[in-house]
Structure 1
Amino acid sequence: MTKTKYAALLRGINVGGNKKVPMAELRQVLQDLGHEDAQTYLQSGNAVFASTTGKTPTALARELEAAIEAHFGFRVPCLVIDGAHLRAVAAACPFPAAELEGKQLHATFCSEQPAESRFASIDAPGYLPEEYRVGDHVIYLYAPNGLGRSKLAEALAKPAVVKGLDVTSRNWNTVAKLVELTRD
């Protein structure tokens, strides 16, 4: 079977002392699941691994969530994205990523394609110069003053937009690094 590289994006770990997941233990959990070449990036829940199982990214995510819960005793929502999709997300970015600081551009990865109707309550011109665009299972956010000051990021995180979806955001520096780490 062909070896495919994936990125696992864990949501809400190692923030404010909650849901502590040491990266060495996360790599071991991935290896115990039979994955190869497990690496982590930063302490915020980014892992890369190779798999020959042929399972879908969704199946890999559910398997990882169950293994994390069994190992650490708490649930952590996970998204698993194959390297080809990560490269496509980077290539399709509607904003000039090369000209921006990584903290100005974010990708919110979604477990399912968000319907346009989810964004009906957002008055996009009212948030300028901040902007967003919806891509393939991703919401791109340009926040020139950073995510922490972004009013548009707050609006995009409201239940009307994300309810029922597993979502997690990464700044563009992290997206670029994950693209690099998942190259064949």
Structure 2
Amino acid sequence: MHLTFLKEKPAEESIQQTETYDYKPDKFKIQDKEVFIYCEGKYHQSKLTNNFFEKKLKTGATTRNWKTILKLVELCKG
């Protein structure tokens, strides 16, 4: 599991168009300014990359694996 943070909320048209792409077994769900990504294999082998989302959604993006997200949440709780 990975989480992509988008710089801006993409246009609805871009979201709908991007959601038509199917890269099974990998899956993704766009929600506001985040993209939740499930990769059955390794992320670096997936087509669901920052570059893919930046081009399709026309905004900057950065991705972190779920373990890193959980660690960041833990650190923020102090």
TM-score range, shorter chain: 0.7 to 0.9
Q: 1:176 aligns with which of 67, 70, 76?
A: 70
2:38 pairs with 1:142: yes
Cα distance in 2, alignment partners of residues 145 and 153 from structure 1: 13
1:123 maps to amino acid: T
Residues in 2 aligned to 1:141 and 1:156: alpha-carbon distance in whole angstroms: 12
* RCO higher in structure (CA 8 A, sep ≥6): 2
CA root-mean-square deviation:
2.2
Give the superposition deviation at 1:110. Answer: 1.4
Residue 147 of structure 1: CA displacement?
1.1
Q: Residue 107 of structure 1 aligns to which amino acid in structure 2? A: L
Give the Å deviation of 1:177: 0.3
Q: Which residue matches 1:123?
A: 20
TM-score computed with the length of structure 2 as normaliser = 0.77
Which runs of structure 2 are paired with 1:86-165 in the superposition (5 Å)? 105-119=1-15, 120-124=17-21, 126-153=22-49, 156-161=52-57, 163=58, 165=59
The share of aligned pairs that are identical, in percent, is 32
Q: What 5-or-longer segments of structure 2 have no aligned partner? A: none
* Higher radius of gyration, 1 or 2: 1
Query: Are the equivalent residues in 2 in contact too, given 1:109–1:168 (CA < 8 A)?
Result: yes
Tell me, which stretches of 5 or more residues in structure 1 are unaligned?
1-104
- The Cα shift of 1:122 comes to 4.9
